[in-house]
Amino acid sequence: MSRAFAAVDLGATSGRVIVGRVADGLLRTTHLARFGNDPVRTRDGLHWNVLELYRQLLLGLAAAERDAPGEIASVGIDSWAVDYGLMRGGRLLGMPFHYRDARNEAGVAAVHDIVGPADLYQRNGLQHLPFNTLFQLAAEGDLLGMADRMLLIPDLLTYWLTGAEVAERTNASTTGLLDPGTREWDVRLAEELGIPSRILPPLVDPGTTLGALDPAAALSVGRALEVVAVGSHDTASAVVAIPNPGGQFAYISCGTWGLVGLELDRPVLTEDARLANFTNEGGVDGRTRFLHNVMGLWLLSESLRHWEPGATDAQRSSLLSELLEQAGRVRGPVPVFDADDSVFLPPGDIPGRIRAWCRQHEQPVPQGRDEIVRSIVESLAAAFATTVEQAAVLADVEIHVIHIVGGGAQNTLLCQATANRTGLPVVAGPVEATAMGNLLVQARAAGEVAPDLGELRAVVARSAPVARYAPERTG
**Of the two residues 11 and 201, which places its CB atom closer to ligand LRH in the complex?**
11
Binding mask 65-94 for ligand LRH (x = CB under 6 A): ---------------xxx------------
Q: How far is the CB of 188 from ligand LRH (least distance, A)?
A: 25
Cβ-count burial 286-302 (b if 16+ within 10 Å, e if not): ebbbbbbbbbbbbbbbb
Q: Candidates 136-144, 182-190, 192-200, 227-235 — which segment interacts with ligand LRH by CB under 6 A?
A: 227-235
Distance CA 136, CA 130 (A): 8
> Binding to ligand LRH (CB under 6 A): which residues in 256-295?
256-257, 259, 293
CA dihedral 359, 365, 368, 370 (to 10 degrees): -120
Radius of gyration of the chain (CA): 21
313 catalytic per annotation:
no
Q: Which amino acid is present at 95? A: M
Which one among 101, 234, 285, 371 touches ligand LRH, defined by CB under 6 A? 234
Contact 278, 290 (CB under 8 A): yes
Q: How far is the CB of 277 from ligand LRH (least distance, A)?
A: 12
Pairing of strands 402-405, 426-428: parallel
Distance CA 367, CA 273 (A): 37
Contacts of 90 (CB under 8 A, 6+ apart): 159
- 438 near ligand LRH, rule: CB under 6 A: no
| Terminal C-alpha separation, the chain | 54
- 190 — alpha (psi -120 to 50), left (phi > 0) or beta? alpha
**Of the two residues 293 and 411, which places its CB atom closer to ligand LRH in the complex?**
293
**Of the two residues 174 and 420, which places its CB atom closer to ligand LRH in the complex?**
174
Q: How far is the CB of 129 from ligand LRH (least distance, A)?
A: 6
Q: Candidates 233-241, 308-316, 372-380, 395-403 — which segment interacts with ligand LRH by CB under 6 A?
A: 233-241
For ligand LRH, how many residues bind (rule: CB under 6 A)?
Answer: 14
- 235 near ligand LRH, rule: CB under 6 A: yes
Contact 263, 287 (CB under 8 A): yes
Contact 192, 212 (CB under 8 A): no
**Of the two residues 85 and 366, which places its CB atom closer to ligand LRH in the complex?**
85
Q: Candidates 23-31, 207-215, 250-258, 324-332 — which segment interacts with ligand LRH by CB under 6 A?
A: 250-258
- 226 near ligand LRH, rule: CB under 6 A: no
Q: Please state, as a whole number, how many other Cβ atoms lie within 10 Å of the Cβ of residue 308.
A: 12
Looking at 93-147, list the stretches that DSSP marks H as alpha helix, in order from N- to C-terminal side: 104-114, 117-124, 133-138, 142-146
Q: Candidates 29-37, 231-239, 241-249, 372-380 — which segment interacts with ligand LRH by CB under 6 A?
A: 231-239
Catalytic residue among 234, 285, 340, 370: 234
Q: How far is the CB of 91 from ligand LRH (least distance, A)?
A: 25
Q: Candidates 28-36, 218-226, 252-260, 421-429 — which segment interacts with ligand LRH by CB under 6 A?
A: 252-260
Binding site for ligand LRH (CB under 6 A): 11-12, 80-82, 99, 233-235, 255-257, 259, 293
Q: Which residues are catalytic?
A: 234
